[in-house]
Structure 1
Amino acid sequence: MRLAPESAPSGSWALLARAVAEELAGVGTPVLVGVRPVEGRVPLLLALRPGTTRTALADRVAAALRAGADRAGLERPGDRTPSAVVVGDAGGWEAAGAGLRHAAEAATAAHGLGDRPWWDARRLDIDLLLWRLRDQPDLASFVERSVGPLLAHDRTARPALLPTLEAYLAHAGRKAEAARELHLNRQTLYNRLARIGELLGTDLDDPQSVLALSLALRARRHTG
């Protein structure tokens, strides 16, 4: 778990460690837990018992971590940047160090991606790569070239079109599913997609254009 930087005053770490350990005692599996105040991280190694799925264990552990952070006064409902819980690969002792480092880096990259009970480190590799490039001027330029006209439109006009593009991309171009998520009828969705294509000068049915837009929107979360 990586805490939001503004939520972890140094005097709270001992309280956090105790609260997290007490919460994890009820998870029902052996666990090694530490605290890394400098990085704002709580690293853990857990035993994945036979018959227990990785997902089920991750659900229980993520809930315990958040409950411990709440008890320590470091996380509250409605926090603007909630703590990020990232679950790495299950593996043996030989892979534990590399797995923890990957999960820790992915937890840093996961901030700003939205609030989920936990993230799978294996699904964050693109975001991790973009986060590592976040200070590169070329990445900011790529975002501006790809979606700048759309962002400029949304600053001055309504309805905002960025949520439509995000839903369309999140559903891999399946318009019916995107329309349901946005609570729009299909014709309204088609009209908005046409307007987005016009603003960006791109074809939203072209796979290369869709890939570029998806990367640009993910990069925007890290470049601000």
Structure 2
Amino acid sequence: MLGFRPGTGPLLPVVMRLGDALSPQGGGWAVLARAVSEELASLGVPVLLGVRPVEGRVPLLLGLRSEAERPATADRVAAALRAGVERAGMLRPGVRPPVVVVGPAGGWAAASAGLRHAAETAAAAQGLPDRPWYDARRLDIDLLLWRLRDHPDLAAFVDRAIGPLLDHDRRSRPSLLPTLETYLAHAGRKAETARELHLNRQTLYNRLARIGELLGTDLDDPQTVLALSLALRARRHVS
């Protein structure tokens, strides 16, 4: 009835979430849906498109011939979605592009859960570095932390783990939080960290020593690294 004939291959759930600055008003959703539909029509894959104005998101189901098509199809779909948003006149300088999350491919029985998972993950991905699309399977930790965002224990954990560092950065320069984030993102590899931050080795060592002193911890300890990584990710979700 809806013209969606995906064949016998797996279904791919995708959700595009628009930030508050992008969400259209009034008839803008119809303009957006039409623009996105026209962009998706050029992909050559079966697509079932919906809009959820209250939640500010656009859910889709796509028909694949095989699981192996998932990465390439996700690239093309994400590009088409962003092109549709641009055609609708919603992308403006300084406004973050929409977040696109791609769930795991599966059958009809898994489609509903896959769309819900992708929708929640799109909310949890707000504030992450911009990417064409995010794989829902790789953001389960962020999703768990997002679900705990209103629990006081999560805020208390963030405060215990990195509170002294946040206090330092409010009062002093240079800010040390970016150094810690980059160091952990590179799994403690100091040469790569220094290169990305455009620091010489000794300056980086001094900053890492200061971070360890402020937090009263050893940045080479695996349990400490795990706790700090979780606290940095949780910080986006707590006030």
Same fold (TM over 0.5): yes
2:163 to 148, 151, 158: 148
* 2:48 counterpart SS class: strand
Question: Contact 2:102/2:134 (CA < 8 Å) preserved in 1?
Answer: yes
**2:191 is matched by which residue type in structure 1?**
A
Q: Which amino acid aligns with 2:56?
A: G
Determine if contact 2:51/2:57 at 8 Å carries over to the other structure. Answer: yes
Moved over 4 A (4+): none
Q: Which amino acid aligns with 1:146?
A: A
Partner of 1:182: 197
Q: Percent identity?
A: 77
Match of 2:219 in 1: 204
The amino acid of 1:222's aligned partner reads H
Aligned residue-pair number: 223
Q: Give the equivalent residue in structure 2 for 1:135.
A: 150
Unpaired runs of 5+ residues, structure 1, are none
Contact 1:2 1:83 in 2 (8 A): yes
- Contact 1:143 1:216 (C-alpha < 8 Å) held by counterparts: yes
Amino acid aligned to 1:132 = R
Q: Residue 74 of structure 2 corresponds to which residue in structure 1?
A: 58
**2:49 and 2:61 in contact (8 A); partners too:** yes
Contact 2:67–2:105, Cα closer than 8 Å, also in 1: no
CA contact (8 A) 1:109 1:127 kept: yes
Partner Cα distance (1:204, 1:214) in 2 = 11
Q: Which residue of 2 aligns with 1:74?
A: 90
- Per the TM alignment, residue 76 of structure 1 is displaced from its structure 2 partner at its CA by 2.6
Q: After TM superposition, give the deviation of residue 52 of structure 1 in Å.
A: 5.8
How does 1:5-154 map onto structure 2 within 5 Å?
5-8=20-23, 9-50=25-66, 53-79=69-95, 81-154=96-169
- Amino acid of the structure 2 residue aligned with 1:137: P
Residue 48 of structure 1 deviates from its aligned partner by 2.3
Of the structure 1 ranges 157-166 and 44-53, higher mean CA displacement relative to structure 2 is found in: 44-53
Pairwise CA distance, 1:3: 0.7
What is the distance in 1 between the residues matched to 2:68 and 2:157?
43
Structure 2 Cα separation of the partners of residues 29 and 82 of structure 1:
24
Contact 2:82 2:97 in 1 (8 A): no
In the TM superposition, residue 77 of structure 1 has moved relative to its aligned partner by 4.1
State the distance in 2 between where 1:57 and 1:175 align: 36
- Output the amino acid matched with 1:157: S
Structure 2: which amino acid aligns with 1:108?
Answer: A
Q: Retained in 2: the 8 A contact 1:10–1:37? A: no
Bigger helix share: 1
- 8 Å Cα contact 1:131-1:222 kept in structure 2: yes
Of Structure 1 and Structure 2, which has the larger fraction of its residues in strand? 2
Once residues 57 and 194 of structure 1 are traced to their aligned partners in structure 2, the CA distance between those partners, rounded to angstroms, is 45
Q: Which residue of 2 aligns with 1:215?
A: 230
The one-letter code matched in structure 1 to 2:212 is: G
Question: How far did 1:59 drift?
Answer: 1.2
Q: Which has the higher contact order (CA 8 A, sep 6+)?
A: 2
| SS of the residue 1:188 aligns to | helix
- CA separation in 1, counterparts of 2:173 and 2:154? 28
